[in-house]
Structure 1
Amino acid sequence: MAMQPTDEATAVVLAGGGSRRFADGSKALATVDGEPMLERVVRTAASVTDGTPIVAVGSADQREGYADALDTAVRFVVDAGDRAGPLAGLERAVTVADSGWLLVLACDLPLVDPRVLSWLADHQSPEIDAIIPETGGETHPLHAWYRRESLRNELVTNPETQSVRELLDGLAVRPIPAAERPDEFDLARSVRNVNTVAELRRVRQAIDDERADGEAADR
C-alpha cells in the first residue's frame, strides 16, 4: 500500500473541546507513549497529507498551551462562536484550507494509523463528499475524509446545523465497513478514542502489551 502524502489534502485536528469527561487536565495534552495525544495525531495526519495541518482550538489561551506542546508545525484556528462542538472548528478550518480534501480527526485518537488513513483516502472519487469508516455498527466521522468544497457549502448554506450527524445528511457519504479492510492493519484500533482517564490507562497498557509481544517474538 502506498504511503505517499495524499495530493491536495490538508489535515484538520479538532482540539477545541473542554475535556469535560476527562478528570485530569487537558485531554489533548495527556501523554501516550511519552508524547501528548495531540502531537501523536498531528504528526500522523501530517504524514499522509501534503499541507500544513490545521488545529482547531476553543480559545487563544488553549492555542498557546498547545503550541508549547507541539513539535510538528501547524496552523491554528479558533472555533467559530456561532456553532458548538466539532462544527465550530470545521467552520473555521474550511475557510483557511485551500486543498480539495480534508482529513478530519479528533485530537483523542492516540492509536490512529497512517496506513488506515491512506487506505480510506484510496476511496476518494468525484461523486463522494465524505469517506467514513464503520466498526461494530458505529460510524466514525471524526476519523474521516471530506471534500472541502462540499463541506464548506453545507456549513454555509445550513447555519442552523449544529451536529456532525446533521451535517452528514447533506453530504454524499461513502461508508467503509471494517470488513473491507486489508488484513495488515486494525481499523478498530485506529478509531479508538480516549474520553476518560480510565480509557487512557487502557490505551497505555495496550501499547505496553504490544511492545512486550513484539520483543518476545524477536527473541
Structure 2
Amino acid sequence: MKIRTYEIGDTEAIMQLFYNTVHEVNICDYTQEQVDAWAPTHMDADLWTDSLKRKYTYVAEEDTQIIGFGELEDNGHIDRFYCHKDFQGKGVGTQILKQIESKARSLGIQKLFTEASITAKPFFEKRGFITVRQQEVERRGQKLINFVMEKTISLSAIVLAGGQSSRMGQDKALISLQGVPLLRQICEIALSCAGEVYVVTPWPERYQDVLPDTCHVIHEVPLPGETEPHGPLVGFAQGLDRVETEWVLLLACDLPHLQVKVLQNWAMELEKTAPDAIALLPRHPKGWEPLCGFYRRQCLPLLNQFIEQGGRSFQHWLAQHSVQELPISNTQVLFNCNTPSDLERLASESSSQ
C-alpha cells in the first residue's frame, strides 16, 4: 500500500469507492433512505474533480487499486474520508490520517476537525479526536446524525523508559497488566492524544518488540564524562531536542491508571495557559508532578543550561521558572507502580472489577 496525492484520473474510482462504502458499510448505522440521499446513484464527476483538486487530497493505493482517500482543507477541516469495504481495519485509514496530520503540521494548522458519521466515530476516537457535539444534518430531504470531532495536533508526547526499577526488582516497563506490557499501554494512550510519540530509553533493543510501530525510539546516551544513571531530566532533554510541536506531553512509563479521556481533557487546558509558563503540570503537597504533564518546547534552552550547570532535579529546575498548575479531580491517575506492593494492589483492583 502507498499513500500519494490525488490525480485527476482518480475521480471516477474515488466516486465509486465513496458510493460503495456508504451503501455497504455505513448502511449498518443508517437507513436505506438515508444512504441513498447521502450517496446517490448519479453524481457529477466535474463537481467532484473540482472539489478534490481544491483540497489536499490523499489516496491510498494497493496494486493500482484505490482503497481509500481523505481530504484536508486549509482551515484544518477533514472533509470526506473513506476506506474500501474490503480494507476496513487494515490500517488504510490510519495511514491516510497520518499523512493528513503531517501536511496539517507543515501548514501550521494546530487543530483538525471533522464531522464523523456514527460508523466513523470510533475510528477517530481511537486516534485522539474528541467529540464536541452531536448534530443532525440534512441531505436531499433526509436527516442524518453525525458528530463534530476535533484533535489538537500541536502536541507530541515523550515517554521515558530509562528507570532502573530498583524498588520493583524487575523492569516496570515490561510488567504485563491484563496481557499488555505497561510501556505499550502508556504509548498507546499517548498515541491517542498526540501526533507523534517518542520513547526515550537507554535500551532500545529491550523494548523494540513491545512498542507500537508508530512510536519513535530515541536512544538515551550518557552525558560526556558520566557513567552513572543521570535521571529523567536528561532523558527528557534528549527527547525534547527531537520534538517539533509547540507543546509536548511528558509521561513516565509506570502510570497504570492513565486514561485517554483524562489526557484529552487536560490538553484542552493548553489554550488557557499563560504565555510565560514553561509547563502545565499537576501539583501535589511535595511539589510538581513532572512526569505526567505538558511542557513548551521553547523551554529546551533553559533546560540544557540547567543540565550543563550540573542540575539533575526536575523540582529544582521547575522552581526557577513559571509553571501553571493543571487542576485534576482524580489523583489516582498519577499513581506510580514502583514496588511489588504497588503491583499487588493493582492485581487486587483488577480482580475485584
Give the TM-score band, short-chain normalised: 0.7 to 0.9
SS at match of 1:11: strand
Does the 8 A contact of 2:250 with 2:293 survive in 1?
Answer: yes
Q: Work out which structure has the larger RCO, using CA pairs closer than 8 Å and 6 or more positions apart in sequence.
A: 1
Q: How many residues align?
A: 197
Report sequence identity in percent: 28
Give TM-score scaled by structure 2 length. 0.52
Q: Which of the residues 167, 170, 176 maps onto 2:317?
A: 167
Structure 1: 4+ residue segments shifted above 6 A:
none
Does the 8 A contact of 2:173 with 2:181 survive in 1?
Answer: yes
Counterpart of 2:194? 49
Counterpart of 2:266? 120
Q: How does 1:1-219 map to 2 (within 5 A)?
A: 2=130, 4-23=150-169, 25-51=170-196, 53-58=197-202, 62-82=203-223, 84-124=230-270, 125=273, 126-135=275-284, 139-150=288-299, 152-158=300-306, 159=308, 160-178=310-328, 181=329, 187-209=330-352, 211=353
**Greater strand content:** 2
Deviations 1:125-162 (A, max 9, x none): 33322111135665321000000111x12122222221
Distance 1:165 1:144 in 2: 14
CA RMSD of aligned residues (A): 2.0
Pick which of 105-114 and 83-92 moved more: 83-92
Distance 2:241 2:286 in 1: 32
Does the 8 A contact of 2:287 with 2:315 survive in 1?
Answer: no
Q: Which runs of 5+ in 2 are unaligned?
A: 1-128, 132-149, 224-228
Pick which of 97-106 and 1-10 moved more: 1-10
Considering only CA atoms, is the larger Rg found in Structure 1 or Structure 2? 2
SS at match of 2:326: strand
Pick which of 131-140 and 85-94 moved more: 131-140
SS at match of 1:199: helix
Give TM-score scaled by structure 1 length. 0.82
